[in-house]
Structure 1
């Protein structure tokens, strides 16, 4: 049986449907920052088209590492509600 939701407008979703969506999106969210970081590393091999490009990439990489931690914390709180 496929795991799907029946609503087409967010206001019509049930708690169970949102719980299902949270569970299904968790693996994708957990890897999002890694995917972006990989792209930044690849882009770092190519000269930036503007002055200070590497500095911008490094700041973005640091922000994404922080995002990874926040996503992990959020996923833990979803799985273990207080």
Structure 2
């Protein structure tokens, strides 16, 4: 199914755009450098670097390792 990679990209975009409940949460920065990673691996990377926590059901996200992203010192901000 071709829509799964698009769903992963949409979820990753959502993850990077999440706003926090406080001003300090909105200014958190992350560096993500992954090649052929799963969305779960990307979420774990963000969790290690911030106070954000992700909750999802494994059956709702694609487990295919097809995400490549390189970004350093990227601000997580509210969209």
Which is richer in strand? 2
Larger Rg: 1
TM-score by length of structure 1 reads: 0.31
TM-score by length of structure 2 reads: 0.32
Which is richer in helix? 1
Higher relative contact order (CA 8 A, sep 6+): 2
